[in-house]
Amino acid sequence: MGKGKTHWIIPDGYIPPESSGNLTSHESICVLNCNSEAAELSVTIYFEDRAPIEAIAVTVEGKRTNHIRTSSLQKNGESIPVGVPYAIEVDSSIPIIVQYSRLDSTQPELALMSTMAYPID
C-alpha cells in the first residue's frame, strides 16, 4: 500500500463570514498523493443542525498535491455556508496524506492555522 491512509477526519471547520484587508478568510483540505495513480476522494461535510452534504467527489492526480478550498465544495448546488461550524470526513480510493489549513483574516492581525487531519485505520 502507498504512503498515508484512506480515511481522514477533520472535526473543526468554520469559514469566517467576514474578512479584512486584501486577504479573504478561507479553509483548505490539503491533500498529498504520493502514489502514481489518481486518488478518488469522497468528502462528507457534517453540521450541528442539518443533514450532511455527502459524497462530494474530488480527484487528486498521482504524484500531486491539491489544496481544496472548502468554500468551493458543493453537491447538487448545496455548499458550506459561512459562519457555520462543520466537520469533514475524507475517504480516498488509495492512501493519501491530509492536512487542514485555515486563514482567518477577520482582523488586520490575521492568523494562519494548520494541522494534520486525524487518520482512521
Q: What is the pLDDT of residues 102-114, one digit of tens each?
A: 876 667 666 777 8
* Model confidence band, residue 27 (pLDDT cutoffs 50, 70, 90): confident
The structural domain count of the chain equals 1
- Which residue, 49, 46, 57, 58, is CA-closest to 13? 46
pLDDT for 36-91, tens place per residue?
Answer: 999 999 999 999 999 999 999 999 999 999 999 998 999 999 999 999 999 999 99
Identify the CATH number of the domain in which residue 9 sits. Answer: 2.60.290.11
On average, the pLDDT of the chain sits at: 90
pLDDT for 7-20, tens place per residue?
Answer: 999 999 988 777 77
- Which residue, 34, 42, 105, 35, is CA-closest to 68? 42
What's the domain range around 57? 5-119
- Which residue, 16, 15, 12, is CA-closest to 107? 16
